[in-house]
Structure 1
Amino acid sequence: MTPCLRPLLFGLVLLPLAAQADRPLAVVAPWEITGLDPSTSGYVFARMRVAETLIDTDADGQPAPGLASGWQVSDDGLTWRFTLREGVTFHDDSPLTAQAAALSLEHALAKPGILDSAPIVAIEAEDADVVVHLDSPFAPLPALLAHSTTLILAVDAFDDEGRATQMIGTGPYRVASVAPPQRLTVERFDGYWGETPAIGSASYLAVGRGETRALMAESGDADVVFTLDPASRARLARHDRLALHAEPLPRTIVFKLNAEHPFLEDERARQALSLAVDRVGIAAGLLRHPEAAAAELFPASLGPWHLGLNTNGGTAAEEAQDVERARELLTELGWEANGRGMLERDGQPFQLTLRTFSDRPELPLVATALQDQWREIGVALEVAVGNASEIPSGHRDGSLELGLMARNYGLVPDPLGTLLDDFGTDPETMGGDWGAMGWRDADVAAWLDTLRQEADMDARAELAGQVARRLNEAMPVVPVAWYQQTAAVNAELEGFSIDPLERSYRIDELRWGE
């Protein structure tokens, strides 16, 4: 117990109402603060409601007005005009102008981020409008402008090189202190253009170990703790001082495969590994959410991208497992069992290394389950648990064989933005850090390219289904389970909810109960 944080929770001492109103909020989550720039840590400042984007999302996850009160696109689809909300000021009391917003977006465009997938030619200010010029139509542009890498900061937030050296946003909270990689404190911004938050100050602490986060919730050292491992969730559910919350997310636990690896270059090998996975067992036994078992990348919440694969009366996840068929496919590829039941071909054992990380505590558990299940078909798997950065670094240097991760297909209110990064049209960048590795498909590239420009909803739905089916056949990335965000919350807090798009922790909607 940290006395300075919790002198009021235990015993019979109750806070006076005035003190309760000033009581700070403590938020704990796994994700480190790697700097002040939105390109690297924008998600933390967006979730803590320090900075905002031109486009927000509505209750259905669709683009909605944010700092832009509305937008229009030209008939040829090449010019987008975003009209700024009036009366907005930054935390340094400078006004939100079209010039300041355009400058922020220009800095975002110059760095790696979601805007890389948009064919942007220029960003400029015209009166109260931010105008974005494209060299080809790009229908999901508003959705991309809801991403945390496009946070709008004040002019003085940036140095002469375009680096963010201060976090000066427009949100209901402003930065009081920041100590990367772990700590951030924020305080209420009384000049906020929207509704004033009830809680005056809050802190954010990045804690990588799931067990430690759970202990902080249990002891009262944190008020809101995100991302609980299944064992901790079961234990914390018995505490009457805590309320547990869970929300399904458009995030999928997947493993990506190096399709240029000699063992994995034939799609039959990738299919065999998928067929050997007991998704139902993993979802029920490890994740404690049987309904989370995923036979395809995209959950039903993503509409036309969801295929609905069950055909024979069972669930899609049950039908996705066929161990005998997996063995047949591997035999077709020349693999034979040795005296110990492990596969060999041309004197080489079928042995692979899977990298994963513990920031999401369920991933090492799933990795161990895959290790056991693949041993049943003769595949030897070594599990390496390290940092999340080892998957993208292994992708870039070609050393990655398999990577287990949780991929968020709802980073923006249209999954196309993420899919363009993961499976997109540029042969030099296709796959990004988290998508396909060593895999190219001309049809998928063409379909995604058409989706960039297509405005007709029926045509978009058909193309989305075609992309989803091809990915399910070729399996450059293999689904295991759909993710659920979890949180343990101090029972004295009112108004808590989980944002299914993970754009905000919604701390400005919270209040302490009287």
Structure 2
Amino acid sequence: MTITILTRRLLLATALAWPLASQPISAQQGEPVLRVVAPWEYTSNDPADTGFILARMGIGETLVQVEPEGQLIGGVAESWRVSEDKLSWRFRIRAGASFHDGSSVTADAVADSLKTSFRGESLSAVPLDTITVEGDEIVVRTKTPFSVLPAFLCDYASIVLAPSAYGPDGKVVKIVATGPYKLVSVDGKTTLELERFEGYARAKPAIAKARYTAVVNGDTRANIAIAGDADLIYTLAPAAIPRIDAAGQTKVASLTIPRIRALFFDSGLPQFSDRRVRRAIAMGIDRDGIARAILRHPDSSASQLLPPILSNWHRSDLPKVAFDPAAARKLLDEAGWSAGPDGIRSKDGVRLAAKLLTLANRPELPVMAAAIQAQLKQIGMDVAIEVGASGSVPAAIKDGTMQFTLVARTYVNVPEPIATVIPDFTRERSSWGTVRWEGRDRMKALTDAYIASFDEAKKSELRGQIIRLIHDEAPGVPVSWFEHNVAVSKRVSGVGIDPYEMRYLIERMAWK
């Protein structure tokens, strides 16, 4: 077995090549099914909720797509250009494309589908004016210049659906899309059955059938990999990798991706309203120890929001927040938080205590939360841990019960981190990140200037200011960067890891 890593501008795509299995797959066994296991349940047909599953499995396509090396390419659109006034973008629809129901992909159909997409987390930030059709082109006009629109249109919420996908009320009732695979059936929340779309306009997949199965529990996913009961198993705990590799049924490939494990705060609470408290929490966490002992990857210790793999956003000159409990305690003293008889601090009758909400679908997060709980107790903070399902964080933010969270947050929800910075740090209540942060107006001024600029030198300066503001004010505290772990069976060749987590690229795979 060999593992090949291809590098371009520090964004990596990993290819796996296994030796041929001793028992080749025979046509007499019937058409083999590519078995894909991941943590995320299929809870609705709404692309804003589950479009990421449809895009990863090659069922749905967006107007624009991104290659693992970071290059934007055509999806449903084959090309695009912007007007001189920087307000109108023209996207030419790919000729000869068909929906899964056999109907033609027309500019009118794509425009109608796209109009339903701009309520998604990233696309809601687009200052959309109009979407019109001229011949075989869609014209997207913005109210103000928006230099990153093509990247935003990679958002899974904007996968293009056929007119037949919608019911009379405009809601999606079935998935009729344009990708290399079509959805054949859905079994509850856990299983999707796929078949190759023979009418696909581009290169057709070598693998004819695939099955997606949602397995929320991380230990169960690891056991599936150990037993060899699936071909691709995504999101594995680092501690499970030696056992998986030793079993010999699958082999784990890993890649550092632009996802961060971080704490996010409700800064409107008295416990977190003072930046000195948030900075003290940052100094009270032993990132290096967590990276070594829990994640088994020392280089994943996070010194700032975005890792070096995003070279245009990462700032090597930004000082690292060192693990320094003594300095953290001093900072809390300066902020007026005094230790009580039990060692827990308080101020004005409020204890320095909070519920830390984390998620079960990332198996390392509860373990990390326990370590953080113990470390913050040493500086005088009492942390209670609650482990919830994947949707529990947005729900808690929405109903006002979120105090602080430990989540794994991707900053390439589209291939431009500003798309996630905007909802996380410029709104009173984000979906996954900060709540009631006092610096959100300053951040909004920076992000507004960034998206309006077509000058790369100015944008580079603004990126530095954005990262430094997050670093200095600590509305979120980075703990570790993310290693994406995928177990791959011996049956499959041509497997790659997309650092943007937008596609599993199964259409590029083949049987041995």
Instruction: Check whether the contact 1:253–1:482 (CA below 8 A) recurs between aligned residues.
Output: yes
SS in 2 for 1:301: coil
Query: Which residue pairs with 2:172 in the alignment?
Result: 164
**Counterpart selection for 1:98 from 102, 107, 120:** 107
Instruction: Check whether the contact 1:30–1:226 (CA below 8 A) recurs between aligned residues.
Output: yes
Distance 1:20 1:413 in 2: 41
With the length of structure 2 as denominator, give the TM-score of the two structures.
0.93
Matches within 5 A, 1:215-230: 215-230=223-238
Instruction: Check whether the contact 1:447–1:467 (CA below 8 A) recurs between aligned residues.
Output: yes
After superposition, give the CA deviation of every residue in 1:392-416 in whole Å (9 maximum; x if it has no partner).
2222232211111011101111111
After superposition, give the CA deviation of every residue in 1:110-154 in whole Å (9 maximum; x if it has no partner).
x44322100111112211101111111111110111111000111
Q: Which amino acid aligns with 1:440?
A: E
After superposition, give the CA deviation of every residue in 1:175-219 in whole Å (9 maximum; x if it has no partner).
111124111010111111111111110100111000111111222
Distance 2:325 2:71 in 1: 40
Q: Which amino acid aligns with 1:240?
A: G
SS in 2 for 1:305: coil
Distance 1:21 1:143 in 2: 41
Q: 1:221 and 1:470, CA in 2 relative to 1: closer, same or farther beyond 3 A?
A: same
Query: Which residue pairs with 1:8 in the alignment?
Result: none
Instruction: Check whether the contact 2:318–2:468 (CA below 8 A) recurs between aligned residues.
Output: no
Instruction: Check whether the contact 1:20–1:512 (CA below 8 A) recurs between aligned residues.
Output: no
SS in 2 for 1:108: coil
Q: Are positions 1:360 and 2:362 aligned together?
A: yes
**Counterpart selection for 2:293 from 282, 285, 290:** 285
Query: Which residue pairs with 1:9 in the alignment?
Result: none
SS in 1 for 2:116: helix
Distance 1:146 1:140 in 2: 11
Q: Percent identity at matched positions?
A: 37
Q: Which amino acid aligns with 2:122?
A: I
Distance 1:198 1:87 in 2: 21
SS in 2 for 1:302: coil
Q: 1:215 and 1:127, CA in 2 relative to 1: closer, same or farther beyond 3 A?
A: same
Q: Are positions 1:152 and 2:160 aligned together?
A: yes
Q: 1:507 and 1:19, CA in 2 relative to 1: closer, same or farther beyond 3 A?
A: farther
Q: CA RMSD in A?
A: 1.7
Query: Which residue pairs with 2:346 in the alignment?
Result: 344
Q: 1:391 and 1:168, CA in 2 relative to 1: closer, same or farther beyond 3 A?
A: same
Matches within 5 A, 1:251-400: 251-309=259-317, 316=320, 319-400=321-402
After superposition, give the CA deviation of every residue in 1:246-279 in whole Å (9 maximum; x if it has no partner).
1111000011011111111010000000001100
Matches within 5 A, 1:448-487: 448-487=447-486
Distance 1:154 1:397 in 2: 35
Q: Which amino acid aligns with 2:381?
A: V
Q: Which amino acid aligns with 1:308?
A: S
Distance 1:220 1:422 in 2: 39
Distance 2:438 2:187 in 1: 42
Q: 1:342 and 1:124, CA in 2 relative to 1: closer, same or farther beyond 3 A?
A: same
Q: CA deviation at 1:57?
A: 0.9
Query: Which residue pairs with 2:12 in the alignment?
Result: none
Instruction: Check whether the contact 2:227–2:249 (CA below 8 A) recurs between aligned residues.
Output: no
SS in 1 for 2:310: helix
- Tell me whether 73-82 or 213-222 shows the greater mean CA deviation: 213-222
SS in 2 for 1:124: strand
Q: Which amino acid aligns with 1:502?
A: E
Matches within 5 A, 1:122-201: 122-201=130-209
Q: Which amino acid aligns with 2:454?
A: A
Q: Which amino acid aligns with 1:85?
A: R
Distance 1:503 1:431 in 2: 25
Distance 2:25 2:510 in 1: 15
Query: Which residue pairs with 1:7 in the alignment?
Result: none
Query: Which residue pairs with 1:71 in the alignment?
Result: 80
Distance 1:220 1:282 in 2: 29
Distance 1:308 1:365 in 2: 29
Distance 1:19 1:178 in 2: 27
Distance 1:321 1:361 in 2: 24
- Tell me whether 272-281 or 298-307 shows the greater mean CA deviation: 298-307
Q: 1:439 and 1:182, CA in 2 relative to 1: closer, same or farther beyond 3 A?
A: same
SS in 2 for 1:80: strand
Q: CA deviation at 1:309?
A: 4.6
Distance 1:157 1:339 in 2: 63
Query: Which residue pairs with 2:434 in the alignment?
Result: 436
Distance 1:205 1:149 in 2: 21
Q: CA deviation at 1:497?
A: 1.2
Query: Which residue pairs with 1:40 in the alignment?
Result: 49
Distance 1:179 1:415 in 2: 34
SS in 2 for 1:418: helix
Instruction: Check whether the contact 2:68–2:498 (CA below 8 A) recurs between aligned residues.
Output: no
Q: Which amino acid aligns with 1:83?
A: R
Q: Which amino acid aligns with 1:67?
A: V
SS in 1 for 2:132: strand
After superposition, give the CA deviation of every residue in 1:468-504 in whole Å (9 maximum; x if it has no partner).
1011011111100001111111122111111110111
Q: CA deviation at 1:108?
A: 1.2
Instruction: Check whether the contact 1:56–1:66 (CA below 8 A) recurs between aligned residues.
Output: yes
Q: 1:53 and 1:19, CA in 2 relative to 1: closer, same or farther beyond 3 A?
A: farther
Q: 1:244 and 1:378, CA in 2 relative to 1: closer, same or farther beyond 3 A?
A: same
Query: Which residue pairs with 2:17 in the alignment?
Result: none
Q: 1:341 and 1:51, CA in 2 relative to 1: closer, same or farther beyond 3 A?
A: same
Q: Which amino acid aligns with 1:437?
A: V
Distance 1:364 1:511 in 2: 36
Distance 2:140 2:348 in 1: 56
Instruction: Check whether the contact 2:90–2:139 (CA below 8 A) recurs between aligned residues.
Output: yes
After superposition, give the CA deviation of every residue in 1:19-44 in whole Å (9 maximum; x if it has no partner).
47821111000011111121111011
Distance 1:350 1:430 in 2: 23
Q: 1:59 and 1:263, CA in 2 relative to 1: closer, same or farther beyond 3 A?
A: closer
Q: 1:344 and 1:17, CA in 2 relative to 1: closer, same or farther beyond 3 A?
A: same
After superposition, give the CA deviation of every residue in 1:422-447 in whole Å (9 maximum; x if it has no partner).
123xxxx4442112211132322111
Number of aligned residues: 491
Distance 1:413 1:180 in 2: 31
Distance 1:282 1:13 in 2: 41
Q: Which amino acid aligns with 2:431?
A: D
Distance 2:476 2:354 in 1: 16
Q: 1:450 and 1:347, CA in 2 relative to 1: closer, same or farther beyond 3 A?
A: closer
Instruction: Check whether the contact 1:263–1:269 (CA below 8 A) recurs between aligned residues.
Output: yes
Q: CA deviation at 1:341?
A: 2.7
